Amino acid sequence: MNIFAKFKETVSSVLPIMVMVLLLGLTIAPMSFGTMSRFVLGGILVIFGLTIFLLGVDIGILPIGERSGAALTAKRNLPLLLGAAFLIGFIVTVAEPDVQVLADQVRGIAPNVSKWGLIFMIAVGVGFFVALGILRTVLSIPLNILLTISYIFVFVLAFLAPPTFQGVAFDSGGATTGPMTVPFIMALGVGVAAVRAKSDKNGKLKSSSEDSFGLTGIASIGPVLAVIVYGIILSGGNSSSADSVTESSHGLIASGIAVFLKLLPSIFKEVAGALAPLAGMALLFQFLLLKMPPMQVVRMVRGFVMSFIGLILFLTGAQGGFMPAGEELGKVLGAASQTGSLWTLLLVFVGLVFGAIVVCAEPAVWVLTDQVESISGGTIKRKVMLGALSSGVAISIGISMLRVLHGFSLWYILIPGYALALILSFICPKLFTGIAFDSGGVASGPMTSTFILSFTLGASEASDGNPAVDAFGVIALVAMTPLIAIQILGIIFKIKSNRAENSHSELVMESTEAAE
């Protein structure tokens, strides 16, 4: 894909949020001129940064995932495959921009939490469950059985974690499946499924298309479990972070470009530390496993350089402009909601609108709807899919605003939501279940991790709530929506397919009887 197509995708993702914020900031929720100007500049950096980053991932990083998955599976060495799967899951998660943004958000309200300690725990969780997902593919373990057992274990353990870590843990599951992790893990899964084959009764080889989906859904369980364990460990002792709390990007520092320039050195260091292990892994695989020709190696290097530059621009724009504006807008509307029910309704309505805009603007959602329409043979239309996802995500963020204002437990939504999703997994066609759990992170893209979470944090703080408990969880709710929506559509597809088959059978029988 060329850079202009990527640029168009990124603009369509970021621009609707920018327009909405500017309209609110200039009318009913006035924000300071400095915040507004930094938001515009930050939005420009986010657009260009995300464009360059995604293009670099496409040309330099994704091919490594596909080739590695195929090459490792072809070795027929299960311990090697699982070890490499853990390493890949760990390293790409460390490099994931959404995870770094989430870690910054957590550290902003909980200074005792180590940013890199949290990132490494999330990465360990992803690595372990990626390996588990590969093992499921190799052993042909039913996806719904593995998901059900894993989520029951997660929810039981979550009740032992401190309340401040419960929302963060489930948010990490959605944030982890971002623009770096999802494509790489899916590419790895496709590579493994392409090489692995099954023998039918006639001894012929056939591949299982169902095995191509579900790996990302399994991987997203890992960070939830890891952060829960991390929270239990921290609550067990007087742990203090070795990280120094950096000055907030929206604090008392010079306005305008100076804010972004001040952020650059620390972000440069963080991005270098995040991508260096991934580059080292790519070199290791090249020498020991892939042995790509020089032209492909040059292409890989170019992709890494583009990803490095793009990630720096993206994080600088997000931390310097996007996140502060989201937080200030949330504070303005959150404070106003305390003055009357009309403003309360307005805050919820703004959350609903943001939800609808975010999910429709995510490029990955359009890819997903195309995929489902193709698999269903046109039975499930893209417009229906977009409508279901848009409505679900809008409701999720609207509920999050009500949580901020009234402080009711996250479990009231997550437990019935995941229970329904798991029950549907036993009714829905297996292929749609895999796609549904893979797509849980599709809706919770960069805009959710940067702007929506900041907006929720600001609203919670201004309404005298507890941001650590009431605000975190919004990404988890957004990520939960596709699990239900896509499986319901899968059941509809199954019903329509059965009706079509029955009609066809009746026509054949009538034709046979007429011929006789």
Write down the domain spans for the chain. Answer: 3-515
Residue 256: pLDDT band with limits 50, 70, 90 = low
The closest alpha carbon to 308, from 126, 87, 47, 60, belongs to 60
Q: Helix count (H) and strand count (E) of the chain?
A: 24, 2
The pTM score is 0.78
pLDDT of residue 156: 92
**Neighbour count for residue 71 (Cβ, 10 Å):** 18
Q: For residues 126 and 222, is the Cβ–Cβ distance under 8 A?
A: yes
Cα 233 to Cα 437: distance, rounded to the nearest angstrom:
29
State how far Cα 97 lies from the chain centre: 10
Q: Tens digit of pLDDT for each residue in 311-320?
A: 899 889 888 8
SS3 486: helix
| Rounded (10°) angle between helices 430-438 and 411-424 | 150
Q: What is the mean pLDDT of residues 340-353?
A: 88
CB-based contact 151:418 (threshold 8 Å)? yes
Contact 306, 5 (CB under 8 A): no
pLDDT of residue 367: 62
**120, burial (CB in 10 Å: exposed 0-12, middle 13-18, buried 19+):** middle
276 φ/ψ angles, rounded to the nearest 5 degrees: -60, -45
Model confidence at 221, pLDDT cuts 50, 70, 90, reads very high
User: What's the pLDDT at 422?
Assistant: 94
* Other residues' Cβ atoms within 10 Å of the Cβ of residue 335: 18
Is residue 154 pLDDT above 90, yes or no? yes
> Averaged over 458-478, what is the pLDDT?
86
Higher pLDDT, 509 or 260: 260
Q: Which 8-state DSSP code applies to residue 286?
A: I
**pLDDT class for 305, splitting at 50, 70, 90?**
very high
Q: End-to-end distance of the chain based on CA atoms, in angstroms?
A: 57
Classify 425 as helix, strand or coil.
coil
pLDDT at 247 over 60: no
Mean pLDDT of the chain: 81
Query: What pLDDT sits at residue 147?
Result: 92
Q: Are 338 and 463 in contact (CB under 8 A)?
A: yes
Q: For residues 177 and 193, give the distance between their C-alpha atoms in angstroms, rounded to a whole number.
A: 20
Stated as kind and residue range, the H or E segment containing 239 is: none
Q: Which long-range contacts (CB under 8 A, 24 or more apart) does 26-34 make?
A: 28/346, 29/329, 29/332, 29/333, 29/336, 30/332, 31/325, 31/328, 31/329, 31/332, 32/328, 34/255, 34/256
208, pLDDT greater than 80: no
- Note the pLDDT tens digit of each residue in 19-53: 999 999 888 888 888 888 899 999 999 899 988 98
54, 310 Cβ separation under 8 angstroms? yes
Judged against a pLDDT cut of 70, whether residue 205 lies above it is answered with no
